[in-house]
Amino acid sequence: MRIDIITIFPEMFEGPFNHSIIQRAKDKKLAEIHLHQLRDYSTDKHNKVDDYAFSGGAGMVMMIEPIVACIESLQKERDYDEIIYTSPDGIMLDQPVANSMSLLENVIILCGHYKGIDERIREHFITKEISIGNYVLSGGELAAAVIVDSLVRLIPGVLGNEVSALSDSFQNNMVAPPVYTKPRNFRGLEVPEILLSGNEKLIEEWKYEQSLKRTKERRHDSI
């Protein structure tokens, strides 16, 4: 998978993309992530990429020209399956959306800022708008990092255990059951005996019951 991110703050991705699962995916050549400084596509002598909105109002709007110039420059090199805009009014990112998008080959993510982007970009160039929650961030970089992480970890070969991603929360519309590790007894706090029984059938039944219970208690909207 190749992911191209258009941003005015590429340095914000240095931490998330240079460690852990994403770094492993890059090392294995399973994912390519390329950052593009939007200001490089500005024709303004000060590399300006925003301006006041027609009709007035508070806040600045990201201009159409540099964004389109960057998108079209990338499209000259390859075809893209999706051009994504991180927007609070996009579809909500959830596990089914991540599952579907993890099968794509080439993706562009445009990080919004200020009061948003010129509407003509959304109407004629963006193919999918994604939100990571019902709140407003200072910019789209953090949302883009979340989207990338949710996709890359699902690429076959990225995780050490292929079954791990399939047992994540929300893969079956339920949150994951409780998990435990050594020691069996910590200050009198015991691991549930069923998990030490070796009876796989009973253990799986217990896990399902716990997952269902936890989902009803915490995320009842999922079932």
> Which tens digits make up the pLDDT trace of 160-204?
755 455 445 445 678 889 999 999 999 999 999 999 999 999 999
Query: Do 80 and 181 lie in a common domain?
Result: no
Confidence (pLDDT) at 167: 47
For position 190, which CATH number holds? 1.10.1270.20
- Residues 17-22 have a mean pLDDT of 92
For position 8, which CATH number holds? 3.40.1280.10
Query: Do 143 and 194 lie in a common domain?
Result: no
Within a domain: 163: no
Confidence (pLDDT) at 62: 94
Total domains in the chain come to 2
Beta strands (DSSP E) in the chain are 2-7, 32-37, 50-52, 60-62, 82-92, 106-111, 128-131, 185-186, 189-190
Confidence (pLDDT) at 202: 97
Query: Do 13 and 82 lie in a common domain?
Result: yes
The pTM score is 0.84
- Any idea how long the chain is? 223
Query: Do 209 and 116 lie in a common domain?
Result: no
Within a domain: 164: no
Pick the last residue of a domain from 123, 152, 181: 152
Within a domain: 39: yes
Residues 6+ apart with CB under 8 A from 69: 41
Helices 20-27 and 141-152, packing angle to 10 deg: 60
Query: Do 147 and 178 lie in a common domain?
Result: no
CA distance 24 to 148: 13
Within a domain: 52: yes
Domain span at residue 186 reads: 169-222
Residue 60 has pLDDT above 70, yes or no: yes
Give the model confidence (pLDDT) of 96-152 as tens digits.
999 999 999 999 999 998 889 999 999 999 999 999 999 889 999 999 999 999 999
Within a domain: 141: yes
Residue 208 has pLDDT above 90, yes or no: yes
Whether residue 70 contacts residue 64, with contact meaning beta carbons closer than 8 Å, is answered with no
- Residues 76-95 have a mean pLDDT of 96
Q: What is the mean pLDDT of the chain?
A: 91
Within a domain: 77: yes
Tokens at residue 59, please? Answer: 């806040």
